[in-house]
Amino acid sequence: MSEYGAPSVLALREVSPPKISDDAVLVRVRASTVSSGDARVRAANFPGGFSLIARLIFGWRRPKQPVLGVDVAGVIEAVGRDVRDFRVGDEVFGMCGTRMGAHAELCALSTKGCIAKKPAELTFEQAAALTFGGTTALDFFRRAKLARGERLLVNGASGSVGVAAIQLAKSAGAHVTAVCSARNFELVRILGADATIDYNTRDFADGSEQWDLVMDTVGNAPYPRAKRALADGGRLLLVLATLGDLFTAPWYSLTSPHRVIAGPVEERREYGETLAKLAREGRIRAVIDEEFSLERIAEAHALVDTGRKRGNVVVRVS
């Protein structure tokens, strides 16, 4: 990608292999995903208030990093001199973070971030599909101190973060209400949702029901709207927050009976290990809408742009 724009700006080309630091590994990529974050960076369509900051990070007139892709699953080809827990030939999955680079044959992956050995029970495609949503949900639940028996509502329950949040919350013993379109009710129920709300027919924030936690993965439930859906002591988890949300979150947390949690997700090593463990135990599964070859990356982005993907859109890299 040499410019921002529609999916058509994406094209395959030869680039130099990435260099790895002493604490990183070089991965031969087998699978990745196209997340909503990838699509936003490609289009320079950043959350409200973040345009200036994001362009300073990702590139002002054109992308600094021409290779997108945050999730990666593949086989280690080389290790940095300080790496002790991984060896050449290990099958791994993890996240590249803002460095990106997973939509390529080779990708550098830090061993200080989210990385784990791939469970034998998972294909590379399934492992890649667990990472972005699973890591995001785990980090927000850690900050919110989700407890057994609490009531959680997930707004945008059929997306990559939503499908992971349902399963992780159920694994933690929570009661989960999923907000999505009626066509996705069967999916979220299979994943463990205890109740469903069709956003086309009911506003979950109408004040008729309250939850201990509300997780907004869509970006349309800031505190002024969501507060009616929160019980006293409730927490609002703004996965897709504007710059204004980041500034007002501490104020609302201090002046209301609720707590607002927003901000970047930490890519912790423990998150990858947790996802691997839960996958081996059969307590979390990957949800894949469609798989594309790397040559069809523009089509994958076009699907994500519709806003109607179920779970994850996977890219196979051979």
Helices (H), 17-110: 36-43, 51-58
Rounded to 5°, the CA angle 115-119-120 comes to: 145
pLDDT at residue 154 is higher than 70: yes
Contact 75, 27 (CB under 8 A): yes
- Is 196 within 8 Å of 177 (Cβ atoms)? yes
Residue 127 is predicted with a pLDDT of 97
How confident is residue 105, by pLDDT bands cut at 50, 70 and 90? Answer: very high
Task: Tell me the mean pLDDT in the region 105-122.
Answer: 94
Q: Identify the band that residue 48 occupies on the pLDDT scale cut at 50, 70 and 90.
A: confident
Average pLDDT, integer, range 141-159: 97
Confidence class of residue 40 from pLDDT cuts 50, 70 and 90?
A: confident
Q: Compute the average pLDDT of residues 152-165.
A: 96
Distances (CA, A) of 39 to 46, 77, 171, 299: 10, 28, 30, 12
Lookup: tokens for 23: 């604490």
**Helical packing angle, 269-280 and 160-171, nearest 10°:** 70
Nearest Cα neighbor of 44 from 57, 31, 27, 29 is 57
Beta pairing class for 259-262 and 230-238: parallel
Q: Give the DSSP H or E segment for 109.
A: strand 106-110
Judged on CB neighbours under 10 Å (0-12, 13-18, 19+), 8 is exposed
Decide: 73 and 13 in contact? Cβ < 8 Å: no
SS3 302: helix
Q: Which domains does the chain have, with CATH numbers?
A: 7-131+287-316 (3.90.180.10), 132-262 (3.40.50.720)
* Confidence class for position 54, pLDDT limits 50, 70, 90: low
Task: Answer whether residue 134 shows pLDDT above 70.
Answer: yes
User: Residue 103 gets which letter from DSSP?
Assistant: S
In the predicted model, is pLDDT for residue 6 greater than 70? yes
Query: pLDDT tens digit string along 273-284?
Result: 999 999 999 999
Higher pLDDT, 49 or 30: 30
Across 218-230, average pLDDT: 95
pLDDT of res. 47: 67
- Cα–Cα distance, 128 to 70 (Å, whole number): 9
pLDDT digits (tens, 9 = 90+) for 176-214: 999 999 999 999 999 999 999 999 999 999 999 999 999
* pLDDT value of position 308: 86
**Lowest mean pLDDT across 95-104, 127-136, 158-167:** 95-104
- What pLDDT score was predicted for residue 183? 95
The amino acid sitting at 258 is: H
pTM of the model: 0.92
Alpha-helix runs per DSSP H in 8-159: 36-43, 51-58, 124-144
Confidence at 58, pLDDT banded by 50, 70, 90: confident
Which neighbouring-strand residues pair with 177? 153, 195
